[in-house]
Amino acid sequence: MSTRPTEISIVVLDDNAGSLELLSAALAREGVVIRTASRPTEALELVRQVHPQLVLTDLVMPEMSGIDVLKRIMEIAPSTDVVLMTAHYTTETAVQAIRNGAADYLEKPIRLPVLRERVGRLIEEARRREEVGSNFSEFEGLIGTSSRMAEMFARIRRIAPHYRSALIQGATGTGKDLVARALHARSGVKGQYVVLNCSAVVETLFESELFGHVRGAFTGADRDKPGLFEAANEGTLFLDEIGDMPLSTQAKLLRALQNQEVLRVGSLQPRKVNVRVIAATHRNLRQAVADRLFREDLYYRLAMVEIGVPSLAEHKEDLPMLVRHFVEHFAQQYGKDVRGVSPRARVVLEGHPWPGNVRELENAIGHACMMAEGDEIDVGDLPAALLHRESPVGIAAEPVSTSVPTSPEGSLQQDASLAEHEKQLVVSALEKARGNQSQAARALGIGRDALRYKMKKYGLLEA
């Protein structure tokens, strides 16, 4: 027996009656309800009434601009995806729209295959959000259902079709490389995804690596060699740890980005390229600019769009899902029948601050799966570093208590004591923060959603 798809509501706004008719006919499909409006005020009233999953709006209208409509919709129904349409498409205006919350930006006259493909993808993603309560456990290899991760997934989805350059910032081990791959995958470009780790290149070889060289350009250059820009033509070049790039190379990179052309070392003939560039760093580039270690003009060129990758402490509610993912991955890789984590090992994992973020967690679970002899990871299988709390200098490190009573009654008592201890920590953090949930969550090293879950769990939320 087939089930009907979740109903999706769309509002289409255009002051041209012919465009409204064309768009409505092109988007008609089972499970989609389309409402049209020829004036912005009429469309905004529809948004207030039905809170549609999707709005398509023209950019240029007499009564109100599409950008103004977008901003009003973000106030009324922030979860609604808004697609702007215009006959005057530029990358800059597209990025401005994305920054204001647009889900996509289409150029008129809109080709029907492009319309159906781009809007169709938004419809399916909206349907999935409705079916699973706005929680995505996996997005282009990234794992998480927390609000911080969902926000990042939405930003990637909105930016990907339009950006020419992007900057990813986050602490070491947060998964900046996976974010870059997701941007590439969602961009729709046909060329290769090419990576350069800037921290691993000798300073004298940077220019040759990026732009290539001709035969005889320097000692050992016995043949012409294309650089990574040419290898990434019609695709994406990912510059990891760009904060380690020398200033002399930064100037040449800026020219390549501005002109979309490269000059091989030793050549006088520039070569045109069409490359999207993603840069990533764990450094504070604004501070590096202030310290004159990074070019200000290059920073602003790269940071046309920015994506911040949260630390694991900022979305710790995703920890169980990440643990499960890595257990499945390494169990398969090692050919073992490891299926989960014991309760006392779970206590250790949840209590660890994870300064190395998701990469540290991945390494810890990989080690534990390798050491595990049964179908469950236990405390003894975890890396030794996880079993000792970090302590101030001069004070002995305190081992994590891993003793678990052997009787069922003892286990229940332990669970109860752990719950009571957790409740006391939450109450104490809220008292110190004078009820400020964001501040209390930061003090506990968890996300605000996780704090609210625990407050609800222990009856601490006001009715």
State how far the Cα of 347 lies from the Cα of 360, in Å rounded to an integer. Answer: 17
355, 447 Cβ separation under 8 angstroms: no
Establish whether the linkage from the previous residue to 399 is cis, with ω within 30° of 0: no
State how far the Cα of 266 lies from the Cα of 415, in Å rounded to an integer. Answer: 70
Residue 54's pLDDT is 92
458, 426 Cβ separation under 8 angstroms: yes
Residue 454's pLDDT is 77
Residue 461's pLDDT is 73
Q: In this structure, how many other beta carbons lie within 10 angstroms of the beta carbon of residue 135?
A: 14
Residue 274's pLDDT is 96
State how far the Cα of 73 lies from the Cα of 158, in Å rounded to an integer. Answer: 16
- Report all structural domains of the chain as residue ranges with CATH numbers, in order of start: 8-134 (3.40.50.2300), 147-308 (3.40.50.300), 311-404 (1.10.8.60), 411-463 (1.10.10.60)
| Closest C-alpha to 211, from 248, 249, 179, 241 | 249
pTM of the entire structure? 0.66
Q: For residue 423, which amino acid is it?
A: K
* Per-residue tokens: 48: 């207030």
Give the dihedral sign, CA 111/55/154/134. Answer: negative
The pLDDT tens digits for 346-379 are 889 988 999 999 999 999 999 999 999 889 999 8
Residue 208 Rama label (left phi>0; alpha psi -120 to 50; beta):
alpha
The pLDDT tens digits for 108-165 are 888 888 888 888 888 887 877 666 554 457 889 899 888 888 888 888 988 888 889 9
Residue 230's pLDDT is 95
State how far the Cα of 439 lies from the Cα of 441, in Å rounded to an integer. Answer: 5
State how far the Cα of 430 lies from the Cα of 75, in Å rounded to an integer. Answer: 29
Torsions phi, psi for 175 (to 5 deg): 105, 35
State how far the Cα of 348 lies from the Cα of 378, in Å rounded to an integer. Answer: 10
Residue 113's pLDDT is 87
| Closest C-alpha to 196, from 244, 265, 258, 163 | 244
List of the chain residues with pLDDT < 50:
1-2, 134-135, 390-398, 401-417, 463
